[in-house]
Structure 1
Amino acid sequence: MLDDGKPAPRPVVMPWEYVTMRRTAACMTIEQAARPYWHRPEHQADVERTIGALEIVGFRMKRDFFVADMSRAYSFNVDVYRQLCDTPPDQHPRLCLACGWDQWSTQYDTNGEEATWAQSDPDLCTRCEQLDRKKVIG
């Protein structure tokens, strides 16, 4: 294939990949992420199943009420999730390909500074660059 001088297209991040990246970046299991949502033991399994469904390949949550509240468990931008679900890939927001961070969300790097795009790899945020995280997508 000839190099036509155009940059390679960015990998497409799907909604279920975004959910997994954000949860993983928070160092949480599905069970830990589900904990803020159940208050009675008999609800635990249902909530964990629902949270886990968000990470199943091909799954898109249609109701905003539960997804919008994912930020009770970890840093999660429902607007990004909706864009990944509802818009074509060329309209998806730019995300860190290791953790799913977007430039509109507050995240701090290991130096305590607000994260931005890494200089060494424009597909990563500065936090993932500092933690030497590898791209999950791509």
Structure 2
Amino acid sequence: MNMMSTMEAPSLDGFAQPDIAAPVTTAMSPGTYLRKRREAADRTLEDVARTLRPKWGVAQINWMVSHLAELENDEAYVTGVVVRNIAATFPMDANVYNALVAIRCGVELDEPQLCRECACSAHDACIDALGHGCSWVEGDPTLCTNCREPEPVEGANAIEGRARAA
């Protein structure tokens, strides 16, 4: 499916301006998806810009940062190789992003299942310190196990805390 047919003509090297004023869905916006995945990877906009264009100078990096911010604010969308290049800089799924753009532009698609906190999906799960992928919290299909509040653990730390309080 060619996403460009639902948007204005591309501008600025693969960036396209949305042609709708308000979202037509309650799905997570493409920009929110990008921001949440970038933040989950502990990357700044400048980190992403420098990864995309390592030889660029300060002014050019600042220009790229401003365009990445436009994407995260849903002021523009990207397609094709541009979104795939961004996807190579932190864990995200270009197909999920493309689906969110299509949904935002009124295409009837099933909304991808995303964590409401970090926007991970079955295609780009969070990886914990042991290298294990997250899963969905039982009873809450909008929250991954990596983002849920940790349950209190009874053990050495709890006993130690009680001893200090006494």
What TM-score do the two structures reach when normalised by structure 2? Answer: 0.63
Q: Where does 1:10-49 land on structure 2 (aligned, <5 Å)?
A: 12-38=27-53, 39-41=55-57, 42-49=59-66
Provide the rounded CA distance (Å) in 2 between the counterparts of 1:106 and 1:51: 23
| Letter of the 2:77 counterpart | R
The counterpart of 2:92, out of the listed 68, 73, 76, is 76
Q: Greater strand share, 1 or 2?
A: 2
Distance 1:56 1:89, change over 3 A: farther
| Number of residue equivalences | 121
**Cα deviation code 1:48-87 (max 9, x no counterpart):** 12222211135322x3221111123211110000000113
Distance 1:114 1:130 in 2: 17
Amino acid at match of 2:66: R
State how far apart, in whole Å, the 1-side matches of 2:150 and 2:64 are: 31
Matched residue of 1:124: which SS?
strand
Name the larger-Rg structure: 2
Residue of 107, 127, 140 corresponding to 1:121: 140
Decide which of 93, 108, 112 is 1:93's aligned counterpart.
Answer: 112
1: CA distance, partners of 2:146 / 2:67? 29
Give me the CA root mean square deviation: 2.3
SS at 2:146's partner residue?
A: helix
Unaligned runs of 5+ in 2: 1-25, 152-166
1:57 is matched with 74
1:102 maps to which residue?
Answer: 121
Are 1:109 and 1:126, in contact at CA under 8 Å, matched by a contact in 2? Answer: no
Name the SS of the counterpart of 1:109 in structure 2.
coil
Which runs of 5 or more residues in structure 1 are unaligned? 1-10, 133-138
The amino acid of 2:116's aligned partner reads L
| Paired amino acid for 2:94 | V
> When the two structures are superposed, what TM-score results if normalisation uses the length of structure 1?
0.75
